[in-house]
Amino acid sequence: MEYSKFREDIFDKNRNIKNVFVKIASESVKEKYIRKKNPYKLEKTNMADKDGYILTIPFVRDDMYEDSEAVKELTGRALDKMDDVEIIKNNLDFPIERNDFFVSEAKYLMPFFLVDAIKRHAKAKKIEMKNIDVVIIGKDKFLTELIIDNIYLDINYLTILDELLINDFGRKIYEVFDDSGLNITVSQNRSVMRNADIVIDTGDRLLGLSDFKIRYMSKSYYISSFEMIFFLMCNEYKQMIRNKFEVVSVNYIKGHIKNMGIKFINL
């Protein structure tokens, strides 16, 4: 889902505009037409043998700041007609909240590649993995625990920063200690970030990243795009992120990633 690149594109031949005169009409007439007819563009596409669409809304990026409510309304109207869609990637400048399909943010798939990302960071900084000090800003409880499950066997120092103590991580801390002996610390003091080698913010971008690349079937994908493929190929992952609890073990999904031959490429 994306904006139109140019204003002229909104009135091109692919927008199913039946009234040819609107293309040469005044700007005010064009504006009224857009709001009434919503001439979005829908193109079929394919990623890793999975069918999908590219939805181009009838607005350029600057329109978002001029009339954001109209942009949101017509985007919603376009999405209402996409009955066969399960997941979308939102490339717009505003959040899409829907109950009829999942909006991909990749933040739940990223944790499964964080160990590779941390190892790459450690190598670049010439720090041994056994000495890496990781701090997780634990704003999102589910995401924080998902990250812990993915990294605790590979690190020796882990702190959860929970300034307001709004989340109870006691059970997860006990599970990790019982399994590996790793003693996770919970702190309210932001000073723990000063000496950390890695800070992972579950309320913002993991590792300060908005995206990174992985390889699948000899092709490279940004993980924000690839999540749509994985969502459709791994039912256990789909159920996990929809329900926000672990219906299967993290190791099962890791195994699925390994069996598919998905590889971390770079940050």
From CA 20, how far away is CA 41, in angstroms rounded?
A: 16
Strand, coil or helix: 137: strand
Q: Which band of pLDDT confidence, cut at 50, 70 and 90, is reported for residue 183?
A: very high
Q: What is the pLDDT of residues 119-147, one digit of tens each?
A: 988 999 999 999 999 999 988 899 999 99
- Kindly state whether residue 2 falls inside one of the protein's structural domains: no
Q: What is the pLDDT of residues 218-259, one digit of tens each?
A: 889 888 888 888 998 898 898 888 777 665 678 889 999 999
Same domain, 130 and 203: yes
Same domain, 164 and 125: yes
Task: State residue 18's pLDDT score.
Answer: 64
261: left (phi over 0), alpha (psi -120 to 50) or beta: left
Same domain, 12 and 44: yes
From CA 190, how far away is CA 35, in angstroms rounded?
A: 48
Same domain, 100 and 116: no
Same domain, 91 and 15: yes
Same domain, 40 and 89: yes
pLDDT score of 13 more than 70: no
Task: State residue 37's pLDDT score.
Answer: 87
- Give the sheet arrangement for strand 263-266, strand by strand: 219-222, 213-216, 263-266
Q: What is the pLDDT of residues 15-30, one digit of tens each?
A: 667 666 787 788 888 8
Q: What is the pLDDT of residues 199-219, one digit of tens each?
A: 998 876 655 555 688 999 888
Number of domains comprising the chain: 3
- What is the extent of the structural domain holding 238? 213-266
Same domain, 250 and 178: no
Strand, coil or helix: 127: coil
Same domain, 68 and 23: yes
pLDDT score of 14 more than 70: no
| Domain endpoint, select from 51, 80, 104 | 104
| Domain endpoint, select from 61, 88, 104 | 104
- Kindly state whether residue 1 falls inside one of the protein's structural domains: no
Same domain, 18 and 97: yes
Same domain, 261 and 232: yes
Same domain, 114 and 88: no
Same domain, 229 and 142: no
- Kindly state whether residue 121 falls inside one of the protein's structural domains: yes
| Domain endpoint, select from 85, 104, 123 | 104
